[in-house]
Amino acid sequence: MTAPFTGPITRPITGAITGAEMHDLVRRLYPLCRSITGAGLRRTLEIIGESIPLEITQVPTGTRVLDWTIPREWNIRGASIKDAAGNKVVDFQDSSLHVVGYSVPVEATMSLEELRPHLHTLPGQPDLIPYRTSYYADTWGFCLSQNTLDGLADGPYEVKIDSTLADGHLTYGEHVIRGSSSQEVLISCHVCHPSLANDNLAGVAVAVALAQRLSDPWYTYRFIFAPGTIGAITWLALNRENTDRIRHGVTLACAGDSGAITYKRSRRGDAEIDQVFAHVLKDRPHTILDFSPYGYDERQYCSPGFNLAVGSLTRTPYGSYPEYHTSADNPDFVRPEAMEDTLETLWAAVQILEANRRYQNLSPYGEPQLGTRGLYGSLGGRSDTKQAQMAMLWVLNLSDGLHSLLDIAERSSLPFRAVADAAHALQNAGLVKERTG
């Protein structure tokens, strides 16, 4: 087996990006023809690397990764269907969705009847172009609107797909922010779809913005930008011995539509990441789904041999909005304010992960006197004095080394921030200590 090549893509780091700037990134990436391999995928990673430095790994064709094998690399230069007058009725240059992903090269003249089995449309959405792929079978095809198909004469048609399938590499990128702990939080995005803005580019833009916002964290944060399914499987295969470092994780996709946030639990169902998102979302419109082995790459990270605590964060889930996997999933469909909201939701979860600890009450026999330690007095004049006092009492009572601060927030129905502030004050007063191990 040939060893994968690993090398850096380093660019100057700018400030954290706004919703408008996230939208600009989506627009810039949108025209590229991405797939699970090839030049479009590598160019996508290069552009991401202008905002955050990426470590690039390239794994050669034929490499065995778990139960899979890295396929041949696919690249495409052009494709079209010309009518008898030489007019291009379908042109890859107009949309990268026009060609079925991984189509083998073809150059032929044929009638509409002969061509029709290779044409894909959406009869129920006649104005739209569908997204179709055929990664692991040698075939070819075009995607077009039903309206275009209905307007085609009998032919003949000159059909050409200028593509190559040859030995090459599968490529993925990683951005790692080292924290005080070697334990990791995983943020994973798929980067294999062609011109689809919500699925997957909005998730990519939100991940980039989160990476730019993080500074001096406690956890180490690992961002993975990889082709769907085969990319996550490849990363797991190459990092099998290190997956025990991953304490929490989330796949990020469909992050820019106007629907409410949806969180899908990890396979474990009660992992800390699942509890964190339930807490973050409880006071806003949302949907929480149980785990299922279908969807994005959470199903790879949550496969039984790894069973990592990785959930899925989207707005409207995959397959649940009419624009999904069609040409209507364009940059005008995703909203800057929706991406900002997704980012803030993710940021709220990160803040809880960073602060969620277990404490041990050092004066557990009866309630310690808080006034003599200046704890009640320090709260005078605060608008939330009663809440802060209650948070101290709850932290003291449940700091038995078993309950986390998030457990206490849920049990007490107090905001996590109030509970964390109380724990900090009590620790400074010598009444509690952080439980390690």
pLDDT of 128 > 80? The answer is yes
The identity of residue 408, as a single letter, is I
What's the pLDDT at 370?
86
Question: Averaged over 208-217, what is the pLDDT?
Answer: 95
Q: Which two tokens stand for residue 168?
A: 């090459």
Please give the domain boundaries of the chain with CATH numbers for all domains.
5-70+170-354 (3.40.630.10), 73-166 (3.50.30.90), 358-434 (1.10.10.10)
**Per-residue pLDDT reduced to its tens digit, 235-244:** 999 999 999 9
Question: Averaged over 224-252, what is the pLDDT?
Answer: 97
150 exposure class (CB count in 10 Å sphere: 0-12, 13-18, 19+)? exposed
Contact 314, 262 (CB under 8 A): yes
What's the pLDDT at 356?
95
What's the pLDDT at 377?
59
Q: Which two tokens stand for residue 213?
A: 């916002």
Question: Averaged over 279-292, what is the pLDDT?
Answer: 95
Label residue 16 by pLDDT band (50, 70, 90).
low
What's the pLDDT at 129?
98
Least confident piece of the model among 2-6, 85-89, 139-143, 224-228: 2-6
With pLDDT > 70 as the criterion, what percentage of the chain qualifies?
A: 94
Label residue 112 by pLDDT band (50, 70, 90).
very high
Could you tell me the pTM of the whole model?
0.93
Which residues, at least 6 apart from 208, have a Cβ–Cβ distance to it below 8 Å?
17, 22, 25, 48, 51, 52
Label residue 372 by pLDDT band (50, 70, 90).
confident
What's the pLDDT at 252?
98
169 exposure class (CB count in 10 Å sphere: 0-12, 13-18, 19+)? buried
- Give all strands of the β-sheet with 358-361 in edge-to-edge order: 400-404, 358-361, 432-434
- Classified as helix, coil or strand, 244 is helix
Report the distance separating Cα 418 and Cα 110, nearest Å: 71
What's the pLDDT at 17?
74
What's the pLDDT at 12?
38
Which residues, at least 6 apart from 317, have a Cβ–Cβ distance to it below 8 Å?
254, 262, 264, 287, 289, 295
Residue ranges at the known binding site: 193, 199, 325
Residue ranges at the known binding site for Zn(2+): 193, 199, 325
What's the pLDDT at 375?
83
What's the pLDDT at 13?
39
**Per-residue pLDDT reduced to its tens digit, 154-206:** 989 999 999 999 999 999 999 999 999 999 999 999 999 999 999 989 999 99
What's the pLDDT at 381?
52
pLDDT of 105 > 60? The answer is yes
56 exposure class (CB count in 10 Å sphere: 0-12, 13-18, 19+)? buried
Count of positions (residues) in the chain = 437
pLDDT of 437 > 70? The answer is no
Report the distance separating Cα 412 and Cα 330, nearest Å: 44
Which residues on neighbouring strands pair with residue 361, listed in sequence order? 432
